[in-house]
Amino acid sequence: MQRTLSTVAVIFAMLAGPEAAQAQTRSPRLIEQARIGTVREVLGAARYLAQPKSQCPQAFATGDGGPCLDGVVARLKAAGQTRARVLGVRHPAAAGEAIRGPYGQQARLYDVELSGKDVRWDAVELPISDVTVPRDCYALKGEGVFYTVERRGDQDVAQERQTVVCGGGPARPEGPYQPEGASIPLDPPSVGAAVNIGGEVWARTGTIRAEGAWRYLAVPEPGCPDTHLVRKLYCARSGIAYLDGAPDKKEVDMIAAKRPAQDGDLLHDDDIEQLVLKRQSKGYKADKRWFEKSMLTLPAGCGAAGAVGFRVHEQNRDLLITEEVLATCGAPLAPVPTDIYEAYGEARPVATVRRDCPPDLLLTAGACFADVVAYMKAFNHNALDVVVLTRPVRDGETVWQNYETAKVRFENGKYVAERKGQQVFGSIWLNRCNDMPNRPAEGRGYLIEWRGRALMAVAYEWKACPIY
């Protein structure tokens, strides 16, 4: 039986309440459960352990109640080694003890080198490790690198460890975390051996001081010759000397310190100006840069841990300056596990391919707008965004391609349609959820369903919903 336009209008009008076909909502549908990862321990280097000693020979004393290096030096000589990175503890540590806490308070690293009969050592300024976390694992909040004291043969060693989560996020937001299963790698390394866990890894876990390219520095200087004075304030000795020795260069980047500075000073944005030193017909001039320029690039896998500063250096009596920043490196923080839900928005009437369509309702090529027009008449719409299906679909099927949208208007006594391409109308919101990262193409489109006797297209979108 042919469905006439008036029959369809009656069907729409019989739906309960105004706009009922459009206003009905669906409950979100679970697409994928959250991926909960497995807590593991990643091993780094095994290091010689240096402990405090009441009667430490002066040549091996690190001072200030720190560790004594005599035992480490003996181990190095016995093994035929000349250098090692050593963990020194400030308080005696027994086998089985875990050494944690802020770097330098409980323990710190020392680089020890033997040169003939001499012993040289330097305290490592920043915490760095040989822990490299596999790419499918992530750092846990509050779980940095720590050491366990282990008895191996006749010596105590300090084994680097980091507790991580692999294959997903942690089941709860806070620790303590208990590792499950074997460590990565399975066998602890011997002292001084390189650690290779295989496969792709994040950058080594630790903190580094990243530096940018060096630039010339100009400073206020009493008695600066007029030939070296720029902007009536700064003495640009080093930059001008460079251009004097490089006649093919027209200009050079330069930093100016607003106050006198010397080797080792750390300046900040408010302390400097960024300039461009240029040649002119007689001498030089310095223009302020139109935009600030950074010469600092962080290594892959590292992120800035504070504000960028500008460190002053003296080299061959010239003053230079470079950007520097502390950066933390290693595996990124584990993501919060998320359930993926399909959330629904507004429903729109659908234009479909029909053989029995009245000619005046074929508003776009091959698509019949009879049901759309009936819907608009039933609910007094003069303009409406609708979905146009370019192929037959089943009830409950989703479409994210092979469809179009159109704006239908009633103008000058007739209905006209303007094609709008593929789009999803309206915003879709789900409480405590966000747009799904890297959402696939099928994660956004329309669900086609019969509502009563009306064919409707319900907008849908996949959302990521954190489990805590």
Stronger pLDDT, 391 or 169, i.e. the higher one: 169
Nearest to 457 by CA among 419, 405, 408: 405
pLDDT at 24: 53
Q: What is the DSSP string of 99-131?
A: E-SSTTTSEEEEEEEEETTEEEEEE-SS-B-S-
Per-residue pLDDT at 198 exceeds 90? no
Residue range 416-429: mean pLDDT, rounded? 94
Region of poorest pLDDT, from 208-212, 270-274, 315-319? 315-319
Confidence class of residue 181 from pLDDT cuts 50, 70 and 90? confident
Which amino acid type is present at position 263? D
Q: Which residues contact 411 (CB under 8 A, 6 or more apart)?
A: none
As a whole number of angstroms, the distance between CA 142 and CA 134 comes to 19
Reading the block at residue 381, the tokens are: 């719409």
CA–CA gap between residue 325 and residue 126 (Å, rounded): 12
- pLDDT tens digit string along 65-119? 899 999 999 999 999 999 999 999 999 999 999 999 899 999 999 999 999 889 9
pLDDT of 63 reads 87
Determine if the pTM surpasses 0.85: no
| Structure-token pair, residue 411 | 């103008």
In this predicted structure, what is the pLDDT of residue 411?
Answer: 95
What is the pLDDT confidence band of residue 9, given thresholds at 50, 70 and 90? very low
Q: What is the pLDDT of residues 239-297, one digit of tens each?
A: 999 999 999 999 999 999 999 999 999 999 999 999 999 999 889 999 999 999 999 99
Structure tokens at 377: 């008449």
pLDDT > 90 fraction of the chain, expressed in percent and rounded? 87
C-beta separation of 255 from 236 below 8 A: no
pLDDT of residue 3: 36
Mean pLDDT of 302-320: 95
Q: Are 420 and 404 in contact (CB under 8 A)?
A: yes
Reported as a pLDDT band with limits 50, 70 and 90, residue 14 is: very low
* Cis, bond preceding 466 (omega within 30 deg of 0): no
CA angle 269-270-276, nearest 5°? 65
pLDDT of 8 higher than 80: no
